[in-house]
Copies of this chain bind each other. A is one copy, B any other.
Amino acid sequence: MTYPNGKLSEEKVFKDPVHRYVHVRDKLIWDLIGTSEFQRLRRIRQLGTTYLTFHGAEHSRFNHSLGVYEIIRRIIDDVFREREHWNQDERLLCLCAALLHDLGHGPFSHSFEKVFHLDHEDFTQAIILGDTEVNHVLRRMGDDFPKKVAEVIAKTYENKLVVSLISSQIDADRMDYLQRDAYYTGVSYGHFDMERILRVMRPREDQVVIKHSGMHAVEDYIMSRYQMYWQIYFHPVTRSAEVILTKILHRAKYLHQEYYSFKQEPVHFYSLFEEEISLRDYLRLDESVIMFYFQAWQDEEDTILAELCRRFLDRNLFKYIEFNPNSQMKMWMELTRLFEKAGIDPDYYLVVDSSSDLPYDFYRPGEEEERLPIHLLMPNGELRELSRESEIVESISGKKRTDHKLYFPQDLIRNLPDSCKEKEKILQLLEQVDH
């Protein structure tokens, strides 16, 4: 079966709380959604540990992927079609790249990538190009089609307009997740007038630009993004859960390396621990599997592993204080020493976590991560970089904001016997705790 331009006999729809409906008209897209690699995204949460802070945030990457696809479909079918600079032959390529852009994500990606030195983007490439159902479906469009899809996602595709639809500072990915994450958490940030933004997007040779009349809607989107980062994505309680998750993974790896004998052997983790995981093994990892192990490990004899797993499952998280790495290093070192003496391993129980964000950036060629700026299309046809027109955006452009917190288990410390002479000292040093 091949299907350049293969249409479904009847359009299929998915009911979606954010976009009302996701419409599928192309057989190719329908078949991609049905692959086991794509269905696997149902078992990976979009926001990792955030559901422990905002209980509504239980939605999966499956949902988000459909949402990004739908936004791209609307841009192409409702706005770009028949406009100059837009080549309708790129349509299906864009839709596939949109749908599959997060395909390589694993369980609790953020933590797993850090601990095991993985990169979900590598896996996305591997799934699209390897011997998978997704690859077989894509191949029906032509032998080089999977490679093209992979290139768009990797931002190396030659048509930069196509790339910018999928990844830029105002792409379909960001527009979907801001709204979706706001919807599921229930926060009032995350609202912006996407319909307006879609209507003022215009294709140019090498990028998507925004008609000047839509500038305020874009400002609103950027403010929304800013608030979502600090209110949701970097929420200190979420990070506390992530700290614990990370430490569980570290502990399990350490125990494995020390030939500890697990009651529930970490079979699914072996290749991860050795950092030579195969695609097949990777695809078997999802959040059910991880939670299965965490639950089993509650009964391990190693008290650190068991204790951390119970914490995670029962949401008994670490407390935190603000931490200034410049002025408080000494305090940290002192606390480390006291923790050790009191018998609480500071490697697992005294953790600094930092988050930082650059809300919007103009173009800085050659910097570590070049970020394409947003361009406005002025009435006279000229392009102008957003922060030159918008005072609000200008005021936050290029300003990186960083936040550090020191995490620790308040209950463990409080439960130290009063005879433990470090106890009072530790509590005193941490007394700023306000949560």
Contacts and interface: CB of A to CB of B under 8 A. Distances in A.
A225 to B, nearest CB: 12
A226 B392 contact: yes
Nearest to A312: B39
Given A13-B199, A21-B199, A188-B191, 14 more contacts: A14-B55, A15-B54, A16-B56, A34-B315, A34-B316, A40-B313, A55-B66, A58-B58, A188-B196, A189-B193, A216-B231, A223-B223, A284-B295, A288-B291
Contacts of A63: 55-56, 58
16 contacts: A20-B186, A34-B314, A42-B315, A55-B62, A55-B66, A188-B191, A188-B192, A188-B220, A219-B227, A284-B295, A286-B295, A288-B289, A288-B295, A289-B292, A391-B401, A392-B396
B16 A314 contact: no
A216 B227 contact: yes
In the complex this chain forms, how many copies of it are found? 4
Interface in A2-47: 13-18, 20-21, 34-36, 39-40, 42-43
B20 A195 contact: yes
A382 interface: no
Interface in A410-432: none
A189 B220 contact: yes
B220 A39 contact: no
A399 interface: yes
B60 A21 contact: no
What does DSSP make chain A's interface, helix, strand, loop or mixed?
helix
A184 interface: yes
Contacts of A183: 17
A326 interface: no
A9 to B, nearest CB: 12
Interface string A228-260: 001100000000000000000000000000000
Contacts of A62: 55
B60 A58 contact: yes
A148 interface: no
B34 A55 contact: no
Contact of A39 (B188, B287, B314, B379): B314
A434 interface: yes
Contacts of A55: 14-16, 42, 60, 62-63, 66
A47 to B, nearest CB: 12
Contact of A395 (B290, B315, B396): B396
- The 7 tightest CB contacts between A and B, nearest first, are A395-B395, A17-B186, A288-B291, A292-B292, A188-B193, A379-B434, A288-B288
Contacts of A193: 187-189
Contacts of A14: 55
Interface in A367-388: 379
A17 B396 contact: no
Interface string A328-357: 000000000000000000000000000000
Given A59-B58, A220-B227, A379-B434, A15 B187 contact: yes
A242 to B, nearest CB: 16
A56 B59 CA distance: 7
A185 interface: yes
Nearest to A19: B186
A15 B185 contact: yes
